Amino acid sequence: MPEGDTVRQVARRLHDALAGKVLTRSDFRVPRYATVDLTGRTVLDVTPRGKHLLTHVEGGLTLHTHLRMDGSWRVFAAGQRWSGGPAHQIRVILATADRTAVGYRLPVVELLRTADDERAVGHLGPDLLGPDWDAEQALANLRADPARPLGEALLDQRNLAGIGNVYKSELCFLLGVTPWLAVGELPADRAAKLPILAKKLLEANRDRPVRRTTGVRGQDLFVYGRAPRPCLRCGTSVRVADQGDGSRERPTYWCPACQRGPAPRPGRPAGGGPRRGRA
């Protein structure tokens, strides 16, 4: 699932392919924009904001897309075979003389006036990888709802932007608390470390093809996806359970020995694998 660092890599690929070039083709395969044609306009830049992508086009237009769970943008050279999925999953095609960017399975495709960008992304908290990053503000946002489980608060992009489901589990592991611990009960020293650790994780991975959090050779992640294998640190069997508000349950991993705090009620389904939902 795309997290802030992945979205940044996608943005850079798109930017390198499109920015400063004239569009020779645009094809929107979403009913609302079926008749829109951006041919002849120059792409100004592709900018990531949290997990959102803003493609700015000459004439004051912004193409706002979001990858959510399984959307992707692929860039192909002229004549290259498109490999992002079957044709019916294509939502947008933007082509220049030598590159074609194809957006597959994009759940969010929205054209807006660039002056209205904030309408699309103004709700986001400080972006972990953005120029607006503000650790104190992010922490204050998280603490505004002290009863909320930490894992849920970390995924809420209004608090801080960029953390997805993988980093949620990894970050809680690194902080030594379970994702079900109420934000208000996070010890002060851990709370102070949280924004710094989160930023470090995303920054360390912003240019890597494979997400890594451990520094352990051959092991990319501490707990995410490891259940029921042993914890890398203590050997206890890693556990998995769903966390969410019912409509957006996500598989959540933790080590019951390394992490302090409440666990979900026993009897809950222990992770039926990743589910579709909103990112």
Tell me which residues are annotated as active site.
2-3, 51, 250
| Contact present, 71 and 104 (Cβ < 8 Å) | yes
Contact between 216 and Zn ion by CB under 5 A: the answer reads: no
Tell me, what amino acid is at 221? Answer: L
Q: In a 10 Å sphere around its CB, with 0-12 CB exposed, 13-18 middle and 19+ buried, how is residue 271 labelled? A: buried
Least distance from C-beta 150 to Zn ion, angstroms?
17
Task: Name the helix (H) or strand (E) containing 206.
Answer: none
Cβ-proximal residue to Zn ion, closest one: 231
Least distance from C-beta 255 to Zn ion, angstroms?
3
Piece of 70-78, 96-104, 159-167, 235-243 that binds Zn ion (CB under 5 A) = 235-243
Contact between 172 and Zn ion by CB under 5 A: the answer reads: no
In the structure encoding, which two tokens stand for residue 52, read together?
């959102």
Contact between 258 and Zn ion by CB under 5 A: the answer reads: yes
Cβ-based nearer residue to Zn ion, 78 or 234: 234
Which residues contact residue 275 at a Cβ distance below 8 angstroms, ignoring those fewer than 6 apart?
249, 250, 251
Cβ-based nearer residue to Zn ion, 96 or 178: 178
Contact between 174 and Zn ion by CB under 5 A: the answer reads: no
Cα–Cα distance, 279 to 165 (Å, whole number): 8
Least distance from C-beta 222 to Zn ion, angstroms?
8
- Rounded to 5°, angle at Cα 232 from 227 and 238: 25
257, 268, 274, 278: which one contacts Zn ion (CB under 5 A)? 257
- Rounded to 5°, angle at Cα 238 from 232 and 242: 140
68, 105, 200, 233: which one contacts Zn ion (CB under 5 A)? 233
Which residues bind to Zn ion, rule: CB under 5 A? Answer: 231, 233-234, 236, 255, 257-258
